[in-house]
Amino acid sequence: MNTVDLAQTGVRELNAQLQGLKEDTNERLWQVLNPKGAHAIAAGLMVPIEVHIEGHPGYYCAGMNKNATIIVNGHCGNGVAENMMSGVVRIKGNASAAAGATGRGGLLVIEGDAGLRCGISMKGIDIVVGGTVGHMSAFMAQSGALAVCGDAGSSLGDSIYEARLYVQGKIESLGSDCVEKEMTTHHVNKLAKLLERAQIRADARKFRRYGSARRLYNFHVDNVDAY
């Protein structure tokens, strides 16, 4: 295992090392100590390595991740795994706002709670949250899946496109054009596989499904109150 102590080394040096690794590297296991809220830790990784961050990184940890597995043994700041392309990011604690924002692929697991706008504008990422999500989560969510084991804050899925939302707990309110949909056996099985992939213990049958009513895809004056 390679260990980098951010108390001794800067984020630039760490990221340059990790981004410089080749696809066939044998330096596959990394540990980062003393993140202490530093930003953009492990952002822009490209190869299938595993990075363990011991502590609490700041904003944009694992931003635009491709192929790597990044595990945060702590909480994290805004925008974790923003625009992730592939790979896995796991937060053992809580995530702040905009977790998984605009993510296009891969799996983001937040074992604790996520703040507001979790999965905002998601474009194919799968997000599984063991706890709750905050206000306006899955806002303008285009594709991918968000599964929430706890409660969801207000305006869930506002202006949603074709992303699939699954919530086990209570929902404070649904956003514009987001409606409850039928949870069929097909959806239960898909969710069960997602939860298994995320290593989150929950019964998929206890979740409800939400998605777009598709009334706002083309403007009509009768829907003006929804805008």
Partner 1 sequence: MTGSFPPGHTPPRRSATFDEYAIAEIHRAAATGIYDIRGFGAKRKVPHFDDLLFLGASVSRYPLEGYREKCATDVLLGTRFAKKPIQLKIPVTIAGMSFGALSGAAKEALGRGATAAGTSTTTGDGGMTEEERKASHILVYQLLPSRYGMNPDDLRRCDAIEVVVGQGAKPGGGGMLLGQKITERVAGMRNLPVGIDQRSACRHPDWTGPDDLTIKIQELREITGWEKPIYVKVGATRPYFDVALAVKAGADVVVLDGMQGGTAATQEVFIEHVGLPTLAAIRPAVQALQDLDMHRKVQLIVSGGIRNGADVAKVLALGADAVAIGTAALIALGDNDPKLDEEYRKIGSAAGCYDDWHEGRDPAGITTQDPELSKRLDPVKAAKRLQNYLAVLTMETQIIARACGKSHVLNLEPEDLVALTVEAAAMAGVPLAGTNWIPGRM
What are the residues binding partner 1 (CB under 8 A)? Answer: 11-12, 15-16, 19, 39-40, 43-44, 46, 58-60, 63-64, 66, 78-79, 82-83, 85, 97-98, 101-102, 104, 117, 120-121, 123-124, 139-140, 142-143, 161-162, 217-219, 221, 224
For the chain, the maximum distance between any two Cα atoms, rounded to a whole number of angstroms, is 61
Of the two residues 11 and 195, which places its CB atom closer to partner 1 in the complex? 11
**How many distinct helices (H) and strands (E) make up the chain?**
2, 11
Distance CA 55, CA 101 (A): 22
Output the smallest distance, CB 98 to partner 1, in A: 4
Of the two residues 60 and 210, which places its CB atom closer to partner 1 in the complex? 60
Give the list of residues 6+ apart from residue 192 with CB closer than 8 angstroms, or none.
204
Of the two residues 55 and 57, which places its CB atom closer to partner 1 in the complex? 57
Of the two residues 12 and 201, which places its CB atom closer to partner 1 in the complex? 12
Output the smallest distance, CB 96 to partner 1, in A: 10
Of the candidates 154, 92, 142, the residue with the CA atom closest to the CA atom of residue 117: 154
Output the smallest distance, CB 37 to partner 1, in A: 11
- Which residue type, as a one-letter code, is found at position 101? A
Which tokens is 151 given? 């409660």
Of the two residues 149 and 160, which places its CB atom closer to partner 1 in the complex? 160
Distance CA 156, CA 178 (A): 7
Output the smallest distance, CB 167 to partner 1, in A: 21
Output the smallest distance, CB 227 to partner 1, in A: 9
Distance CA 165, CA 6 (A): 37
Distance CA 42, CA 14 (A): 8
Output the smallest distance, CB 85 to partner 1, in A: 6
Which tokens is 204 given? 């998929």
Of the two residues 9 and 192, which places its CB atom closer to partner 1 in the complex? 9
Provide the 8-state DSSP code for 195.
H
Instruction: Name the region of 152 (left: φ>0; alpha: ψ -120 to 50; beta: rest).
Output: beta
